[in-house]
Amino acid sequence: MNREKLDQYIRGLTQQGEFSGVVLVKQGEEDLFANAYGYASMKWKIVNTIDTIFPHASVTKMFTAVAALQVVEEGMLSLESKVQNILKLNVSNVPSNVTLHHLLTHTSGIADYFDEYDDDVDGYAELWNRNPNYAFKNLSDFLALFAGKDPLFNAGNDFRYCNAGYVLIGLMIEKATGIDYFEYVKRNVFIRAGMEKAGFIPFDAVRDNVAEGHQPIKNKEGRAVGWKKNVYSLPVRGSSDGGAYSTARDLVRFLRSLREGQLLSGELTTRILQPQGPIQEDPNGDWAYGYGLAFLFDKGEIVRYGHGGDDPGVSAKVFYYPGYDIDVVILGNQSHCADPVAAKIHQMIVSDG
């Protein structure tokens, strides 16, 4: 990997106001690339470092999936456990045949509380203009946003990415274990994986070395003319579908712990590292979802797996390339900024450019 070429590319994005964050590329124990760009706080001109703590958005789904499979491993749930049998939701349009497997693979057909197919990450901010974000501190608080919506298709008949499904997974973990979701993930995922800085950090918490999220203020032509913080554009604390925080190195530790079988048994490690849902055709490469992981293919072979995430003021990509033994973590504290960096690194890895 040409480090100078990659650094030059990312610095160009930063100078244009299109990237702020950290980029870590590791092969085994070697850092192929480890740099930080932009400000952790624009207001106070505090620069990002490779050890800055960033939010992950939907990257959190990987942790939720691992936690759910751990509960399955303990015999407190099964992949065929029906949501309604476990949660007994009184006011809900979640069909009685929807299972944990359906939720994990986004094949449940239930309606989402925010439909990413019909809107974008900026539209997500509007959701919290209509619903006070400070009121969403527990997973059960999210139920009112989607419980009355009709299903989109019969469970198992199609694939549709669904954040609400992962909220329900978190609630199933709580019901089965009797432990708060956030505490369960801390004990059984973060600590076991050696993720020293990981956690779910509320906006009103005082904690040092945490990057603030920045959203562009755009004029009528769509150009950024200023910036604002994202404190009113996200729930006050994350949930089981998104919102955990950590450093880039913590996320490499997670990926390594997962594939080395430190978080799940051999059988479930094998299962989580394979796609479970239908193949999705895409001009940029066919892909499929598994249990909290998305898999990219080339000529039928898995090129990489992992997860991305985007929220207002948050952009993240976390991938492992098994054929190259390369981990890639991109954490940004600016809207929409991780995609071009991830695309550049991908091209460099597969072409050795």
d(Cα 265, Cα 291) in Å, to the nearest integer?
Answer: 15
Q: Is the pLDDT of residue 353 over 70?
A: no
User: Which whole number is the average pLDDT over 114-119?
Assistant: 77
CATH match of 3-351 with 3.40.710.10 = yes
**0.75 exceeded by pTM:** yes
pLDDT tens digits for 202-255? 999 999 999 999 999 989 888 889 999 999 999 999 999 999 999 999 999 999
CB 19 within 8 A of CB 13: yes
Question: Which is it for strands 224-229 and 287-289: parallel, antiparallel or unpaired?
Answer: unpaired
Task: Decide: 105 and 276 in contact? Cβ < 8 Å.
Answer: yes
Q: What percent of the chain has pLDDT above 70?
A: 98
Structure tokens at 295: 């898999």
Quickly tell me which residue has 């942790």 as its tokens.
63
Cβ-Cβ contacts under 8 Å for 146 (sequence gap 6 or more): 110, 111, 112, 113, 164, 167
Between the alpha carbon of residue 8 and those of residues 115, 158, 332, 337, the distances in Å are 36, 42, 17, 16
The residue assigned the tokens 């603030």 is 212
pLDDT digits (tens, 9 = 90+) for 162-204: 999 999 999 999 999 999 999 999 999 999 999 999 999 999 9
The DSSP symbol for 186 reads I
Residues 303-332 pLDDT 10s: 999 999 999 999 999 999 999 999 999 999
Average pLDDT over residues 141-156: 95
Listing DSSP states for 120-184 in one string gives: -HHHHHHHHHHTTGGG--SGGGGGGGTTTSPPSS-TTS-----HHHHHHHHHHHHHHHSS-HHHH
Domain ranges of the chain: 3-351
- Predicted pLDDT at 119: 60
